[in-house]
Amino acid sequence: MALKFAQLEGKAKKSSINQFQYQDGDNVVRMVGDILPRYVYWIKGENAKNIPMECLSFNRSTETFDNKEKDWVKQYNPEMKCGWSYAIQCIDPKDGQVKVLNLKKKLLEQIMLAAEDLGDPTDAETGWDVHFKRVKTGPMAFNVEYQLQVLRCKTRALEEAELEAITELKSMDEVLPRPSADAQKELLDRVRSGSNEAPDAEVAKEFSEGAEQKW
């Protein structure tokens, strides 16, 4: 589509994802939309940056490892393990913006348990705000616990401004599209060879979102 001069940026816009940042102590979000089930590998890429690569052996729709697609990461690195990486969108009450919430497994387990009594937290009319605490339990980065504060999780309908914010909410499959096996292989081959050449345009497009994320 052609643009008017006043709309022109003059360069390619950088693709990035607005992510919810966990804070020590109290946190609150309102989850919206669908949840994306994924498992990812972490690959050491160019400039020593870690690149998240989706495990294509894992089926997003059935939450099973059905091995229907070629898993090139496993092919090249048989000993490498993939990790749990579910995500959903949320409204951050601090600024009213819709952000991607990279869920913590133990936190999601607590939310699912609470949902047995409180109902679906993502429902616009009968859903509930997710209140939880992030607690440091030691000096290491992974020494963290997430504690759902169930008594503070009250059901409420979304306000007008919140409804407006999710008017054009995308599916998580669009926010974090699944790469093709061919695109994944090409990127892996580039990383393994230490190539400085620019990747194919389609490959760059498929991985541009994931490379920006901080899981």
Do 26 and 120 have their domain in common? yes
Phi (first) and psi of residue 107, to 5 degrees: -65, -45
Residue 8 in any domain: the answer is: no
Residue 169 CA to residue 166 CA, distance in Å, equals: 5
Do 117 and 163 have their domain in common? yes
Q: Are strands 50-54 and 39-44 parallel, antiparallel or unpaired?
A: antiparallel
Do 80 and 106 have their domain in common? no
Into how many domains does the chain fold? 2
Residue 2 in any domain: the answer is: no
pLDDT value of residue 87: 97
Do 113 and 74 have their domain in common? no
Do 20 and 124 have their domain in common? yes
Residue 127 CA to residue 46 CA, distance in Å, equals: 43
The domain of 57 spans 38-85+177-215
pLDDT value of residue 204: 44
Do 105 and 153 have their domain in common? yes
Do 143 and 62 have their domain in common? no
User: Could you write out the DSSP letters of every residue in 176-198?
Assistant: SPPPPHHHHHHHHHHHHHT--SP
Handedness of CA 95, 108, 157, 134 (dihedral sign): negative
Residue 162 CA to residue 30 CA, distance in Å, equals: 10
Low-confidence ranges of the chain (pLDDT < 70): 1-16, 46-47, 195-215
Residue 20 in any domain: the answer is: yes
Q: End of a domain among 130, 146, 168?
A: 168
Tell me if 175 sits within 8 A of 89, measured CB to CB.
yes
Q: How many CB atoms lie within 10 A of CB 5?
A: 5
pLDDT value of residue 8: 60
Do 26 and 130 have their domain in common? yes
Do 104 and 147 have their domain in common? yes
Do 136 and 210 have their domain in common? no
Element containing residue 9 per DSSP (H, E) = none
Do 132 and 146 have their domain in common? yes
pLDDT value of residue 3: 59
For 28, the 3-state DSSP assignment is strand
Q: Which long-range contacts (CB under 8 A, 24 or more apart) does 134-141 make?
A: 134/22, 134/23, 134/24, 134/25, 134/27, 135/24, 136/24
Do 116 and 207 have their domain in common? no
Residue 96 CA to residue 92 CA, distance in Å, equals: 5
pLDDT value of residue 45: 73
> Residue 89 CA to chain centroid, in angstroms?
8
Nearest in space to 209 (alpha carbons), one of 110, 121, 102, 131: 102
